[in-house]
Chain A
Amino acid sequence: MTSGVKHDFYNWKKKTLSFNMEEDEFFSEKTFQYYCVEFIKHSQQINDGWEWKTSKDCSDGYMCKTHFQIKNGTVGSHPGTSACIQTCLPTEEALELPLDDFEVLETAAASEVIKYEYHVLYSCSYQVPVLYFRASFLDGRPLTLKDIWERVHECYKTRLLQGPWDTITQQEHPILGQPFFVLHPCKTNEFMTPILQNSQKIKRNVNYITSWLSIVGPVVGLNLPLSYANTTFQGERNGD
C-alpha cells in the first residue's frame, strides 16, 4: 500500500467507526449502546440471559438480566433443629431421619434462594455505565441494604465497610422509577482508563461493557462466564 492509499483508508475508518475509543473523547451513550449490543450477542450465543430493554419513550434503554443465586446453608446440631427439619422434608423422609443425626439433605432444608436482577444503564452525568440491581427472596421479600452488604464478596468487604455509603447505595432506577441498589460510578474512569489506554497501545478495540462488567459484577454476585473474555476485543483493527 502506498502511503496515500493508507491515509485514505485510515480516514475512512475514522469516519465510519464512530464508536472507536481512540477518537472518542468520552464514553457516549451511543458508544454505550453499541457495546451493550455486542455484549448481548455473545450472551445469546452462550444463553447467558442478558436482554436489551428500551424505555417507553424509546429515547434510551438498558441491559438487564435475572439471576437466581442458591446458597446452601448448613444445619447445626442443636436440639431444636430436628423439628425444623422434619417440617421441611416430606413426611416419609422425616420418619427415616434419626433424630440425633444432622447430616441432612442440605439442599432441601437450608437453601437460600435469592433472585437478583441486574440492570446496566448509562449515566449521563458520569458518562460511564452504571450497575443497578435489586434482590429478593423467593417469597417476594426484598433484600435490604444491610442484606446486600452482608452478601458482598469477602475480598471487597474491607473496602466496603470503610465507606459503605460511597459504594453501594439505594436509588431510584432512572427509567423504571423503582428503588434499586447502585454500585457508585464515580471511580469507574479510574479503573477503566488503564485498560483503555493499554488497548490503544496494542491497537485493539476493547468492549468497554464487557471489561467493566467483569470488574464490577463480582462485587455484587454477578460473575461473567469466561467465554466473554474472548469477546472483549471488537472489530479488530488491521495495522495501518
Chain B
Amino acid sequence: MAEEPESVLQLPPSTAVGGEGLTEISPETVTPEPPSAAVSPGSEEPTGDTKKKIDILLKAVGDTPIMKTKKWAVERTRTIQGLIDFIKKFLKLVASEQLFIYVNQSFAPSPDQEVGTLYECFGSDGKLVLHYCKSQAWG
C-alpha cells in the first residue's frame, strides 16, 4: 500500500470555521464545517513531544467515493462520530446514507471512541489507517 506523497491537511477545529488551527498546505479546499470535538482554540499544531494531533490515513471501501485528500491531522480527542460527520460532509453524502469507519479493515469502533485511543491501539508507522464505507444501513 503505497502512500501518496500528499500534504497532511488539518481537520477544521470546532471553534472556528476554516479559521484558526487550519493549515492548508495543498491547494485543495476543505469544506468549512465546524465538527464537534474538543480543540484548544488558536493553537497551531504543536511540533513538540506531546503531539495533540495524530495522523490519519483514510481509505475507501467498496463503492464509497475516494476522498481526494486522504491524510489528515486530527486532534486526539476527536470522536469517531465527529470524524464520520466530517467525511460525510466532505463527500457530500445525503442524510439517508450512513458512513461507517473501521479499524483493522473490519471492526467499527463505537461513535464515542476517541481517535487518540485508536491511534495508541492500532496506529503504526506514525499514523492510524481507517477504512470508511458508505451504506444505506437502515431503511
Contacts and interface: CB of A to CB of B under 8 A. Distances in A.
Contacts of A148: none
- Give the interface SS of chain B, mostly helix, strand, loop or mixed: loop
A155 interface: yes
Contacts of A211: 106-108
The winner among A190, A206, A226 for most chain B CB atoms within 10 A is A226
A195 B104 contact: no
Interface stretch (A23-31, A70-78, A162-170): A162-170
A193 B134 CA distance: 11
Interface in A174-202: 184, 187, 190-191, 193-195, 197-199, 202
A232 B104 contact: yes
Interface stretch (B14-22, B50-58, B68-76, B115-123): B115-123
B121 A159 contact: no
Interface string B85-100: 1000000000110101
A232 B136 contact: no
Taking residues whose C-beta sits less than 8 angstroms from the other chain, chain B's interface range is: 20 to 34
A38 to B, nearest CB: 13
Taking residues whose C-beta sits less than 8 angstroms from the other chain, chain A's interface range is: 35 or more
B32 interface: no
Given A187-B138, A214-B108, A159 B62 contact: no
A143 interface: no
Nearest to A160: B138
B133 interface: yes
A83 B92 CA distance: 52
A224 B104 CA distance: 14
A187 to B, nearest CB: 5
26 contacts: A154-B81, A155-B81, A155-B111, A156-B138, A159-B98, A159-B137, A159-B138, A159-B139, A160-B138, A187-B139, A190-B135, A190-B136, A191-B98, A191-B100, A191-B133, A197-B62, A198-B62, A210-B107, A214-B108, A215-B108, A217-B110, A218-B110, A226-B109, A228-B107, A229-B122, A232-B107
Interface of B: 61-64, 81, 84-85, 95-96, 98, 100, 102-113, 117-118, 121-122, 131, 133, 135-139
